[in-house]
């Protein structure tokens, strides 16, 4: 596992997408293009082209065919005149922009592949409008379910809602229990509860017990606690079923988001035999 901090982004050179059954995926909480300071973009129009170029270089450097974005906004400038798909993902084939519901907004971008189904679902147990964006995708010889989500931070909520995040995880497991191949990316809001030193990863026990795999178990930090420095909190993850996880790494530029991008290579396991 590697961590890469980028003061300036670098260009992605050439395609690395080839192997059948291999998916290159990244999830990134893009912070509404405000570095986490607002639910609206703060980039002025006069810096639109400069910042769009920087975002494109950063995105290309990840070297993936699929990218999920959390805390997404469809426009990346303060005036709302500059749209994201054409400016930041000009050569990508498919843009699936989710509904903006306050802080919550999820999107999926595909450089290649085919989408046969898409939908959104709000979690039954929530304080805010937490939901997931879903697509059924065919790529590199695999058909799989693709999800981007942001769960709720429940440690600061009143007692009746502190179990909401666990229920949201259980909703994901239940919704995709019959699917052989699933990729879930997003901000899972894993953090200490009221300063306790509990094992943060117990929050993921339902996934582990159900046989899912995690890209990391806290060793990769993906969110900043303050401007500058290095990411400190392991909030973001990639969680899969039916895939092995390889080449996990973090890529960050604090001028672009208060979260780092997390990417991984996912290799599909042999298809399960159908029951007669």
Predicted confidence (pLDDT) per residue in 193-216, tens digit: 444 445 566 778 899 999 999 998
Q: Would you say residue 224 lies in a domain? A: yes
Category of 195 on φ-ψ map: left (φ > 0), alpha (ψ -120 to 50) or beta? left
What is the residue range of 218's domain? 2-9+19-268
- Identify the band that residue 163 occupies on the pLDDT scale cut at 50, 70 and 90: confident
* Number of domains the chain is built from: 1
Q: Would you say residue 275 lies in a domain? A: no
Q: Would you say residue 274 lies in a domain? A: no
**pLDDT score recorded for residue 12:** 39
What distances in angstroms separate CA 69 from CA 145, 147, 200, one per listed residue?
16, 10, 23
Q: Residues 215, 235: contact at Cβ < 8 Å? A: no
Q: What is the CA radius of gyration of the chain?
A: 18
Q: Would you say residue 147 lies in a domain? A: yes
CATH number at residue 236: 3.60.10.10
3 state DSSP class of 174: helix
Q: Would you say residue 73 lies in a domain? A: yes
Q: Would you say residue 158 lies in a domain? A: yes
Q: Would you say residue 273 lies in a domain? A: no
Predicted confidence (pLDDT) per residue in 234-273, tens digit: 889 999 999 999 999 999 998 999 999 999 999 999 876 6
Q: Would you say residue 14 lies in a domain? A: no
State the DSSP H helix or E strand holding residue 118, giving kind and residue range, or none if neither: strand 114-122
pTM over 0.75: yes
SS3 of 20-56: the string is: CCEEEEEEEECHHHCCCCCCCCCCCHHHHHHHHHHHH
Predicted confidence (pLDDT) per residue in 38-84, tens digit: 778 999 999 999 999 999 999 999 999 999 999 999 999 999 999 99
Start-end of H helices in 120-214: 164-175, 205-209
């Amino acid at each position: 596992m590697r961590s890469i901090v980028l003061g300036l982004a670098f260009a992605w050179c050439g395609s690395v997408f080839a192997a059948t059954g291999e998916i290159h995926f990244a999830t990134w909480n893009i912070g509404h293009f405000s570095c986490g300071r607002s639910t609206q973009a703060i980039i002025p129009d006069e810096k639109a082209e400069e910042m769009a170029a920087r975002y494109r270089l950063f995105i290309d450097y990840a070297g993936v065919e699929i990218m999920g974005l959390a805390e997404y906004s469809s426009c990346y400038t303060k005036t709302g005149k500059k749209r994201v798909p054409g400016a930041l993902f000009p050569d990508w084939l498919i843009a699936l922009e989710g509904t903006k519901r306050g802080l919550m907004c999820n999107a999926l971008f595909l450089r290649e592949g085919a989408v046969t189904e898409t939908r959104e679902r709000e979690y039954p147990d929530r304080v805010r409008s937490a939901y997931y964006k879903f697509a059924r995708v065919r790529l590199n010889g695999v058909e799989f379910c693709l999800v981007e989500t942001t769960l709720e931070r429940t440690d600061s909520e009143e007692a009746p809602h502190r179990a909401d995040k666990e229920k949201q995880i259980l909703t994901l497991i239940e919704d995709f229990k019959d699917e052989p191949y699933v990729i879930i990316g997003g901000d899972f809001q894993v953090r200490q509860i009221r300063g306790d030193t509990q094992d943060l990863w117990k929050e993921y026990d339902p996934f582990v017990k159900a046989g899912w795999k995690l890209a990391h178990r806290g060793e990769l930090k993906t969110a900043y606690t303050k401007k500058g420095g290095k990411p400190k909190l392991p909030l973001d993850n990639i969680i899969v079923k039916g895939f092995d996880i390889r080449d996990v790494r973090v890529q960050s530029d604090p001028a672009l988001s208060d979260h780092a991008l997390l990417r991984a290579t996912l290799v599909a396991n042999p298809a399960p035999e159908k029951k007669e």
